Structure 1
Amino acid sequence: MMGKGVGLKSDICDSLPGLKGLCEWLEGHINNHTAVSDIDKDKFGITETLRGTHWRGKDCDDFDKTVYPGRRPKNNDEETDSDCNGIYGINPATGKTFEEDYCANSDHRGVLLLSDSAGAHFHIPGEWMTASKLSVDVFKHVLMVVEDEFDWPELSGTTGYMNTTWDIVHGLTDSLYYQLVQRNRCNHRDFQNIGVNGARAEKINTIAHSMSRDPNTDHPAIVMYSLIGNDVCNGHPDTIAHMTTPEQMKAYSLSSLKYLDTRLPKGSFVIVTGMADGRVLYELMANRIHPLGQYNQDITYKHVYDLLSCLQVSPCNGWMSSNETLRNYTSERAANLSKALQEVVQSNKFMNFKPYYIDYDIRTVIKEWEDMGGEGWQMVEPIDGFHPSQDANYMTAKHVWKQLETTYPEIIGKVNPNNDAIYKQFGDQGGY
């Protein structure tokens, strides 16, 4: 897992005049989880990778820090598009701005994700480690993959906005953000994925500082606080000693929620999710053949799990283990941490947002996939045997959206009756 920041300090950075400054600048952006290409320093960029538009809505004017996705429009966007949703100008039929006619009375919601590698959608292409599929062609997007930290937020279950156009990731995309735009096209481009590989509750306060939301000038937001594994997952031989305790989880999460209360506009929502029951990994994967062993049919996921533990690089000794007692203990701790999160949500009130707690019910999501004709193992990333796959992201998004529609409709707001008119006037609203 890549969780504690990426260091660039080396002899190379120190050897050439001017290069040290460049390394420090790049390292700062990487470790702050903000766009490297961001001229006006508003945390929104114009290039896809390096925490750019794959991660956050595209900045429509990178020379003006008061123009960015999610802000309340300046002068109702009479002449220019200040909130980057592609809607601006005067409506000749009414004499008002299009923002006033189409968006003023809609329930604008941005989507912000504070999460780990699962939320960022960590994915190592299976083709890279499958002998029968190796070719120069499967590595043609390697630079993009590296620049996005092996994450695919543009295809994720919270901020995904496109179906894959690459032949090294497979499956459909659905997300909370995508559904919100279908519900209200005024929400276009208002998303931020601040998912960080290896993130734990202790670090979310620091990670949250990468968020861009002004309580005075911006629209309300839906924040997903979702840490599904790293507080019980680690590669240490004494893995239990490095798990977060329920008392720590309460303290860390409450501190993060209090920080969010200082940054979010009034009328926002924070959805805190529980942790996964990761025992499903071993149940689904242990006896299956790993891509590394497909040629001779001789390497199972159990072999890979054991090797990763031996090398002390396992993303989760507690669940990726042949020790059933340890797997059960890890899930028991995860359940206790989920209970701690639920107690924090239920026992605290905040000025600017209403908190909600929902379970991360991976077993129900898998069952829904199987009821559609799929197989449970397809919900797990094929190379690491740990992260949710593209199919899992798709199904989890559908599951969560249905839950919000039926149980918490106030979070997602009403359908904008002007959606068709917006599309007719502005098309894809500038795309992504």
Structure 2
Amino acid sequence: MVFPTLFLLGFQESFMCRTYLLCAFSLAALLIVQPSISNWPVGEAFFTPQPQPLQLGPDGWDCVLCTAITGIVSQLSQMHRIPARDALALFCGFFRSVESALCRTASLILIEGALKLIDEGRSADKVCQAISYCVKEECHIFPPDNNKSVTLHEMRKAYNLENIRPLGACKLVPGLCQLWRSGSERDKDGDGFSTYPTRRGTDWKGRDCDDNDPNVYPGKNSTDATRDENCNGIYGVDPATGKTYEELWCANSSPMGVIGVGDSATAHFTVPVAYVSVFDISSEALASFVPMIDNELDWPMLSSLTGFRSTSGYFPNFEGPMVSVYGKLLERNRCNHRDYQNIGHNGAASGNLLDFLKQVVRNRNESVKPAYVFFSMIGNDVCIPPPNFFTPEHYYQSVSDAVKEADNFLPRGSYVIIVPIADARLVIESVVDRIHPIGKLNNDVTYGNLYDYLNCLKASPCWGWLNSNPAVRNEAWRNASAMNAMIPRIVNESANLKNIKVFALTDPVSWALENFDGPLWRLVDPVDGFHPSQIATALIGERIFAQLQSLGILTPENPFNADIQRRFGDQGGY
């Protein structure tokens, strides 16, 4: 179900979504939940450390893609009492001009033959089965059609759909499904930092203040007499003392960077509700479509570890507070400005830690500041169904090897902090019987329906947690608890490491659930029914920072913060 786009039209663009016509419709790959990046057909976690293309096909994500878009068009038709063709035009009209034109062109290829079926009241599931994007009739997210007298074969014959052949997204455009990126794609000097926000740029790592010089980057341990080599906005010489401002105000302040190495929660995976709800869809909400795709459906600039933006800049898709470990450390010491790195990847598990450490830019041989490095794989190790569950021994070996590797290259004085696997049972229990946004118009789709649908298709990002069966979720937690029990052993065995100290946190997700003064479903991402919402993400950031303080590893407040702000203002911003 992928359509070559401006490439076929003879245009070339620098970013992915304007190179392929699927861009306007690739939102359906995110319409329900994040896709699995996996060799195994069910679950976010995977066995090989290298990023793998999405496994799309009939009864996989091609089916989800078709059903989601058809469902939205069908609901717009019902809501506004207009034909499906007009509803499709309305849907495409919510996008900006270029994306809107692509959407309309893609529509002609994708569901032109299905519009009459929508007008006749066929369910989105049945429509996509009729046009061969879905083949398992027993898998459906919407209630079955009332009209069961006509078979699929008869329906295809009646509407001349017999010769339709679905086009696999990743088969036609393999690069489109390569959601993982190992580093910024716009890094001129190759130092790992960029001036461009998305595609692993400044939304993910501190802004490079000279992208033509590989010796200038955030986190460098420099004195900055004539220029800002560590990009924290502090440079120059104090005429009264003859010392640089870095020497006067930063050198003895124990500056520290923040580095998150983790999964989709680390990266703050979120699909805005406007992409699945006909009540919330708007041009304003969909204006972020291209940067959202370029950022892999993640929002690291609002995350619990490395967030630095206000949610007000992302309205109406985000509301609520932004609290992060980096933001709190910056308040304590303005010398930490821009010193953050988010190495979070959707679908990652403990087995990926060693590989992801290669993306961390913090080699002590290059004179860099120490950092708090968070190993934050909080869910995916228990996503795969038995008998292929990862074992506690696998978890122990993966994390232990990563700790040793971190000691090999991190600067002395750094901390590695292990975040345990979260107990997601309360999270799922709080939403499993609630109406999902895609079913809000007719109150006909619950989160439990969504979980069952994805599991039926073998397309679930996390079978262990995203499951309507509480026995399955209890088994996932049993396995997670056994893995978490390995963490004290890992910490104890790290006592003799030369350059880093290793600590473990208690589960910040459980703390957020226990301390939130409101209904628990508000802490859950409303679209995927699994990831932390923005409110929960802020609570997690607050809790992690508090635990750093309790552990006695929080650096002191810088008494020169006011001097820095008077002299350098916002220090160049972000």
> Do both proteins adopt the same fold according to a TM-score greater than 0.5, normalized to the shorter chain?
yes
Letter in 1 for 2:370: P
Q: Which residue of 1 aligns with 2:493?
A: 347
| 1:387 and 2:531 correspond | yes
Q: Which residue of 2 aligns with 1:98?
A: 245
| 1:282 and 2:428 correspond | yes
Q: After the TM superposition, which residues 292-331 of structure 1 pair with which residues of structure 2 at under 5 Å, given as runs? A: 292-331=438-477
Q: After the TM superposition, which residues 44-83 of structure 1 pair with which residues of structure 2 at under 5 Å, given as runs? A: 44-73=193-222, 76-83=223-230
Letter in 2 for 1:170: E
Deviations 1:292-315 (A, max 9, x none): 111112211111111111111112
Secondary structure of 2:401 counterpart: helix
Deviations 1:239-290 (A, max 9, x none): 0222210111111111111111111000100000111111112210011111
Structure 1 residue 204, shift from structure 2 partner: 1.4
Letter in 1 for 2:539: M
Secondary structure of 2:207 counterpart: coil
Letter in 2 for 1:408: L
Contact 2:415–2:502 (CA under 8 A) maintained in structure 1: yes
Structure 1 residue 99, shift from structure 2 partner: 0.5
Paired with 1:126 and 1:93, the residues of 2 have a C-alpha distance of: 56
Percent identity reads 39
Q: Which residue of 1 aligns with 2:552?
A: 409
Letter in 1 for 2:534: Q
Deviations 1:148-169 (A, max 9, x none): 0000000000000011211212
Contact 1:106–1:416 (CA under 8 A) maintained in structure 2: yes
Deviations 1:58-109 (A, max 9, x none): 0001111111000101xx1111000000000011232211111100110110
Structure 1 residue 210, shift from structure 2 partner: 0.8
Paired with 1:403 and 1:369, the residues of 2 have a C-alpha distance of: 17
Deviations 1:100-136 (A, max 9, x none): 1100110110011110001000000101111112233
Q: Which one of 405, 410, 413 corresponds to residue 264 of structure 1?
A: 410
Deviations 1:202-250 (A, max 9, x none): 111111101101213100010000111100013xxxx022221011111
Q: After the TM superposition, which residues 225-244 of structure 1 pair with which residues of structure 2 at under 5 Å, given as runs? A: 225-234=375-384, 239-244=385-390
Structure 1 residue 32, shift from structure 2 partner: 4.7
Cα RMSD, aligned residues only: 1.9
Paired with 2:483 and 2:552, the residues of 1 have a C-alpha distance of: 27
Contact 1:119–1:157 (CA under 8 A) maintained in structure 2: yes
Structure 1 residue 399, shift from structure 2 partner: 1.2
Letter in 1 for 2:393: E
Letter in 2 for 1:122: F
Paired with 2:425 and 2:441, the residues of 1 have a C-alpha distance of: 28
Q: Which one of 543, 550, 553 corresponds to residue 399 of structure 1?
A: 543
Letter in 2 for 1:428: D
| 1:333 and 2:479 correspond | yes
Paired with 2:399 and 2:514, the residues of 1 have a C-alpha distance of: 30
Contact 1:77–1:99 (CA under 8 A) maintained in structure 2: yes
Paired with 1:219 and 1:125, the residues of 2 have a C-alpha distance of: 36
Q: Which residue of 2 aligns with 1:19?
A: none
Letter in 2 for 1:293: G
Q: Between Structure 1 and Structure 2, how many residues are aligned?
A: 406
| 1:86 and 2:233 correspond | yes
Contact 2:37–2:53 (CA under 8 A) maintained in structure 1: no
Deviates more, 1:183-192 or 1:131-140: 131-140
Structure 1 residue 320, shift from structure 2 partner: 2.1
Deviations 1:354-406 (A, max 9, x none): 00011224232122222xxx32111110000011111111001111112222x
Contact 2:36–2:459 (CA under 8 A) maintained in structure 1: no
Paired with 1:34 and 1:428, the residues of 2 have a C-alpha distance of: 27
Secondary structure of 1:271 counterpart: strand
Secondary structure of 2:279 counterpart: helix
Structure 1 residue 342, shift from structure 2 partner: 2.6
Q: Which one of 331, 338, 348 corresponds to residue 182 of structure 1?
A: 331
Q: Which residue of 2 aligns with 1:15?
A: none
| 1:429 and 2:571 correspond | yes
Contact 2:36–2:461 (CA under 8 A) maintained in structure 1: no
Q: Which residue of 2 aligns with 1:125?
A: 272
Q: Which one of 346, 350, 363 corresponds to residue 214 of structure 1?
A: 363
What TM-score do you get using the length of structure 2 for normalisation? 0.68
Letter in 1 for 2:513: I
Secondary structure of 1:377 counterpart: helix
Structure 1 residue 409, shift from structure 2 partner: 2.6
Q: Which residue of 2 aligns with 1:419?
A: 561
Secondary structure of 2:381 counterpart: coil
Q: Which one of 162, 179, 190 corresponds to residue 41 of structure 1?
A: 190
Paired with 2:225 and 2:509, the residues of 1 have a C-alpha distance of: 46
Deviates more, 1:155-164 or 1:296-305: 296-305
Q: Which one of 37, 55, 58 corresponds to residue 3 of structure 1?
A: 37
Secondary structure of 1:329 counterpart: helix
Secondary structure of 1:356 counterpart: strand
Secondary structure of 1:231 counterpart: helix
Distance 1:44 1:403, change over 3 A: same
Letter in 2 for 1:376: L
Deviations 1:12-32 (A, max 9, x none): xxxxxxxxxxx99x89x9745
Distance 1:78 1:2, change over 3 A: farther
Contact 1:249–1:341 (CA under 8 A) maintained in structure 2: no
Contact 2:417–2:502 (CA under 8 A) maintained in structure 1: yes
Distance 1:6 1:37, change over 3 A: farther
Distance 1:141 1:361, change over 3 A: closer
Q: Which residue of 2 aligns with 1:376?
A: 520
Contact 1:3–1:196 (CA under 8 A) maintained in structure 2: no
Q: Which residue of 1 aligns with 2:351?
A: 202
Secondary structure of 1:209 counterpart: helix
Deviations 1:178-203 (A, max 9, x none): 01110111010000000011111111
Letter in 2 for 1:233: C
Q: After the TM superposition, which residues 160-175 of structure 1 pair with which residues of structure 2 at under 5 Å, given as runs? A: 160-164=307-311, 165-166=313-314, 167-175=316-324
What TM-score do you get using the length of structure 1 for normalisation? 0.90
Paired with 2:291 and 2:36, the residues of 1 have a C-alpha distance of: 17
Structure 1 residue 2, shift from structure 2 partner: 4.7
| 1:246 and 2:392 correspond | yes
Letter in 2 for 1:218: V
Letter in 2 for 1:363: S
Distance 1:367 1:142, change over 3 A: same
Paired with 2:212 and 2:519, the residues of 1 have a C-alpha distance of: 49
Structure 1 residue 140, shift from structure 2 partner: 1.1
Secondary structure of 1:58 counterpart: coil
Letter in 1 for 2:287: K
Q: Which residue of 2 aligns with 1:16?
A: none
Secondary structure of 1:132 counterpart: coil
Letter in 2 for 1:83: N
Structure 1 residue 40, shift from structure 2 partner: 0.5
